[in-house]
Structure 1
Amino acid sequence: MTDSCFYCEKDSRLTNLMMPIADLSTSTFYLNKDQTHIGRSILAFNDHKRELFELSSIERERFMEDVANAAKALQNTFHSSKLNYAIYGDLVSHLHFHIVPKYENGEEWGGAFVNAPQKKKRLSEAEYEQRIQAIQNQL
């Protein structure tokens, strides 16, 4: 863990951006507060690692199982045309996946999603909780 990592510290830098959905085998599943893409989520590895190759083969297998389970829950909840997966880490160097449901003829179809769009879609607290509950029901 590092003091500057909000995934490790779980401080306001994290809670301003996302809300927890569930604790999985090796990771924490979050709903991104920017819902420009309905169901946009993040899956963060629990221990502070920067790269996939830093995980043991067992950790990697379990983490990828978490990715698959989170993705399946999102697909069963939101019925997207395709799920996009991204790992960046340039600015937040803690291993995490962005899992982003996309829809044909929808926002940014056919291209990469914008990680930090200028215009963000925010929801009410009740709408966030409703989405989180719907995803939890599919886990």
Structure 2
Amino acid sequence: MATGCLYCDRNETQKDLMIEICDLSVSTVFLFKEQTYYGRCIVAYKDHNVELYELNDEDLLAYMKDTNKVAAAMKKLFNPEKINYGAYSDKLKHLHMHLVPKYVDGTDFGGVFVMNPQQKYLSDTEYSEMVDKIKKELGK
């Protein structure tokens, strides 16, 4: 655990950006509050690692399986044309992956997604319904 890390500290800044959905085998799944890309989630590794190559083979496989499980749930629930995967961590040094659903004729389809367009937010009820659906699909 690293002090000052958004994912390790679970601070107010994190809570302003995302909603915790559940824990999987080696990760925690979050719903990104900004929903320009409807269904967007983040899969954050459980420990404070920065790079995929820092993981041993077993944990790397488990993390990728967690990520894959979330992507499959997103496809089933939201039916995007494609899911984009982003793992940047330039400024936020904690291993996490953005899973960004892209829809034909939707925002940035055919191009790179915007990290935080700050254009579309949902009601508490809508967030709650999405979280419940994702949890159920993930078997949580």
TM-score range normalised by the length of the shorter chain: over 0.9
| Aligned residue number for residue 120 of structure 2 | 121
Unmatched tracts of structure 1, length 5 or more? none
Identity %: 41
| Aligned residue number for residue 94 of structure 1 | 94
Runs of 4+ that moved beyond 2 A: none
| Aligned residue number for residue 72 of structure 1 | 72
CA distance in 2, matches of 1:91, 1:39: 24
Offset at 1:91? 1.3
Q: 1:130 is matched by which residue type in structure 2?
A: E
* SS of residue in 1 equivalent to 2:53: helix
Offset at 1:116? 2.0
| Aligned residue number for residue 20 of structure 1 | 20
RMSD between aligned residues: 0.8
CA distance in 1, matches of 2:136, 2:2: 33
| Aligned residue number for residue 83 of structure 1 | 83
CA distance in 2, matches of 1:121, 1:89: 23
Over residues 59-116 of structure 1, what are the superposed CA-to-partner deviations in whole Å (9 max), with x where a residue is unaligned?
0000000000010111111011000001000110100000011111111000010002
TM-score (norm 1): 0.97
Does 1:132 pair with 2:127? no
